[in-house]
Amino acid sequence: MDTGDGRFEMLELERYDKLLRGEEEMPERAGGIFSVGEQLEIKGSKFKVKKITRKDLVLRLLPRE
């Protein structure tokens, strides 16, 4: 698992199983790829990350400058 400071650490099997079953939440920003408020460019269009859920990444299209 990414520790968020540029390192990876091994998870104990018990904790890994809990994460997979949804009994334990992932850390808020454990070195994730995206963060709320971040601006992205996809195929020439700019977006802002509005919300991150377990299954979705909600983006808002930004106006062109």
Domain map of the chain by residue range? 1-32, 33-65
The pair of three-digit structure tokens given for residue 15, joined into one six-digit string: 């904790």
| pLDDT bracket for residue 1 (50, 70, 90) | low
- CA-to-CA distance for 43 and 35, rounded, in angstroms? 19
pLDDT at 60 > cutoff 90:
yes
- Per-residue model confidence (pLDDT) at position 27: 55
pLDDT at 9: 76
Q: Is the pLDDT of residue 54 over 60?
A: yes
Between CA 10 and CA 25 the distance in angstroms is 17
How many residues appear in the chain?
65
Give residue-wise pLDDT tens across range 4-50.
666 777 777 887 777 777 766 655 544 567 788 889 999 989 999 89
